[in-house]
Amino acid sequence: MVDLRQPPNEGSPVDTPAQASDTRAMTRPLFITFEGIDGSGKSTQARRLTDHLRSRGLDPLQTREPGGSPGAEEIRALLLTGDPARWSAETEILLFTAARRDHVEKTINPALKEGRPVICDRFADSTRIYQGATRGDLRAIVDDLHTRMIGREPDLTFIIDMDPGEALSRGLARRSGEDRFEHMGLPFQETLRHGFLALAKDHPKRCVLIDGNRPEAQITTEIAARAEAALAI
Ligand SMILES: Nc1ncnc2c1ncn2[C@@H]1O[C@H](COP(=O)(O)OP(=O)(O)OP(=O)(O)O)[C@@H](O)[C@H]1O
Ligand SMILES: [Mg+2]
């Protein structure tokens, strides 16, 4: 049984020294996250960075939130399907936190312990920013729960910044008619954007702002260079 009094990063596997003769283990395992507004290119760049690191001989694990482990994927379905007003903001925070705890325990920490870089499409910053944009008064609870139940921050966070209107037109192209921007509203995306910009300012050590208004390959080149520097490869 899992002792929930312990944060799941106990022992800080990120700092585990390189092991054995496997050359992949010679590099430092690194927990990398992608954040940014809807449609900014997070999933695209997470996939491209994963491919790039593979081409450099590493064995990265690509994952996403909410979800990323069997239990967390079940919670994802609870969060993303059904009546949008199904959960109160408080219950939603608890569900996100429960999903994240399972994801960290079952997927992220084991991969880092094996010496694999982990690339995650959204993580705790998304909860912080979305919650801040909807119910700012709950931000302290989000942070408190994170400290108590998750206890891990990424080593490197790419925040893809771009104009929400531009992201909207990409989303429309992608979804051919289906568009949740209409549902959420452009002003909401503007609020999220400013939340992410403030986060980057507050955490300059781990956060890198990336200009998302460029061709995919150009963005990947910058991200790959940053990741390689952090991985010391
Ligand atoms: N640099 C780019 N230039 C033009 N189009 C892009 C670029 N990056 C991604 N796209 C396209 O924009 C759309 C949204 O990209 P993607 O799904 O990667 O964004 P996302 O941030 O993961 O979105 P969501 O928040 O919905 O998960 C996709 O159709 C993708 O192919
Ligand atoms: Mg995505």
As given in the structure block, the two tokens for residue 213 are 């208004």
Read off the pLDDT of residues 13-65 as tens digits, 9 standing for 90 and up.
333 333 433 444 445 789 999 999 999 999 999 999 999 999 999 999 999 99
What pLDDT is stored for residue 85 in this prediction?
A: 84
44 within ligand 1 shell (Cβ under 6 A): yes
Closest alpha carbon to 32 in 72, 68, 74, 63: 63
Helices 186-202 and 124-134: angle between axes, nearest 10 degrees: 130
* Residue 177 pLDDT greater than 70, yes or no: no
Percent of the chain surpassing pLDDT 90: 71
Read off the pLDDT of residues 3-27 as tens digits, 9 standing for 90 and up.
444 444 433 333 333 343 344 444 5
Alpha carbon 200 to its chain centroid, in Å, reads 14
For residues 148 and 7, give the distance between their C-alpha atoms in angstroms, rounded to a whole number. 6
Q: Count how many residues are written for the chain.
A: 233
What pLDDT is stored for residue 61 in this prediction?
A: 98
Q: Calculate the dihedral angle through the C-alpha atoms of 219, 221, 227, 232, rounding to the nearest 10 degrees.
A: -170
Percent of the chain surpassing pLDDT 70: 82
With DSSP H G I counted as helix, E B as strand and the rest as coil, what are the percentages for the chain, rounded to 5?
55, 10, 30
61-64 and 207-211 beta bridge pairing:
unpaired
Q: Whose CA is nearest to atom 14 of ligand 1?
A: 39
As given in the structure block, the two tokens for residue 46 are 């997470």
60: CA distance to ligand 1 center in Å? 21
What pLDDT is stored for residue 141 in this prediction?
A: 95
Mean pLDDT of 119-147: 93
Higher pLDDT among residues 76 and 82, named by residue: 76
174 within ligand 1 shell (Cβ under 6 A): yes
Amino acid at 66: P
Closest-lying ligand 1 atom to the alpha carbon of residue 174:
29
42 within ligand 1 shell (Cβ under 6 A): yes
Helix/strand/coil for 31: strand
What pLDDT is stored for residue 23 in this prediction?
A: 44
- Write down all domains in the chain, each with its CATH number in brackets: 25-231 (3.40.50.300)
221 within ligand 1 shell (Cβ under 6 A): no
Q: Which of 33, 34, 35, 44 to mutate to test the pocket of ligand 1 (most atoms within 8 A of CB)?
A: 44
Closest-lying ligand 1 atom to the alpha carbon of residue 39:
23
What pLDDT is stored for residue 228 in this prediction?
A: 96
For residues 184 and 197, give the distance between their C-alpha atoms in angstroms, rounded to a whole number. 19
For residues 182 and 207, give the distance between their C-alpha atoms in angstroms, rounded to a whole number. 29
For residues 11 and 129, give the distance between their C-alpha atoms in angstroms, rounded to a whole number. 28
Q: Whose CA is nearest to atom 28 of ligand 1?
A: 174
86 within ligand 1 shell (Cβ under 6 A): no
